[in-house]
Amino acid sequence: MSLGQFFAILLVVTIWGANFTVIKLGLGEMPPILLSSLRFAFAALPAVFFLPRPKCHWKYVVGFGVVLGCIKFSLLFLGMDLGLSAGISSLVLQLQAFFTLILGMFVLGEKIGPHRYVAMLVAFFGVGLLMFVSDGSITAIGLVLVVAAAAAWGVANIIMKQAGSVQMLSFVVWASLIPPIPLAILSFATEDRANLATLSDQISWIGVGSILYLAYPVTLVGFAIWGRLLSSLPVGLVAPFTLLVPIVGMATSALVLGEDFGPIKMISAALVMAGLVINVFGGKLMTTFSGQKTKLS
């Protein structure tokens, strides 16, 4: 890995980590379903006219767009709008790695090593501790919705895996065509119409900036760089850097939004991060340890 590639990875991790604080700022300006609709509309247009259609069956593009766009992000935005803080949302959403493992076992017949069962137990216990936080930054409904968003992300990961070897940015941008209209209809049907009617007069540069940030740096820049890195470097070298996303997410929320991380939150974060680390590196450590034990015996 060159120095330039290393800094490119850090740039993407920073963009994706700060994403949660930007979402929280955007939710202060507009309803969650509408924000999700606008995010995907801007992510798809005009980029879709400049990127080739992904070389896979349309059912995967549509399925990914529905699950990731309509379901996952709606649940995430609703959960954050209903009281889950930006920093904790960035942490809880990483449970998607474990939901992907579970779904991969049942849908794809993949095997889960014993270290991954330990990883899941540790991480989910860490999230469970968040129910004991009483500083007002966590609500039960918000936590449940973001956990559900992580599960939906797991489903989206399985759909993308079944799509085969596709160009990641093209796949994400073309899938972004799916959510805007259904989400706009859902927003009109369920969110405060009076606020929607006056939104164009009330929205500030913060609201506009949040939409543009979610659409362009997070989606286009992030996935463009990440896709190139994955194509030029071993996946095992690049993927572990996503462990930094919740760290950046919590740090950004603390700096920008003044989120406080008390003892329970810190213990929870440590457990979730420990689970993620065990999930990524546990198999290699077990193999190394077994090899050393064999040599000694």
Place of tokens 């596709």: 166
CA distances 2 to 13, 57, 229, 232, 233, Å, are 17, 36, 11, 11, 10
Per-residue confidence (pLDDT) for residue 257, from 0 to 100: 93
Q: What value does the mean pLDDT take over residues 197-210?
A: 78
pLDDT class of 50 with cuts at 50, 70, 90:
very high
pLDDT in tens, 108-131: 888 888 888 998 999 999 999 998
Percent of the chain with pLDDT over 70: 91
Amino acid letter at 19?
A: N
Rounded Cα distance between 19 and 101, Å, is: 24
Q: What value does the mean pLDDT take over residues 207-211?
A: 92
pLDDT in tens, 56-85: 999 999 999 999 999 999 999 999 999 999
Could you tell me the pTM of the whole model?
A: 0.89
Rounded Cα distance between 21 and 252, Å, is: 7
Residues 103, 158 contacting (CB under 8 angstroms)? yes
Per-residue confidence (pLDDT) for residue 38, from 0 to 100: 93
Per-residue confidence (pLDDT) for residue 145, from 0 to 100: 97
> Where in the sequence is the domain holding 183, given as residue range(s)?
3-296
Rounded Cα distance between 121 and 196, Å, is: 43
Domains in the chain: how many in total? Answer: 1
Asked if residue 291 has pLDDT above 70, the reply is no
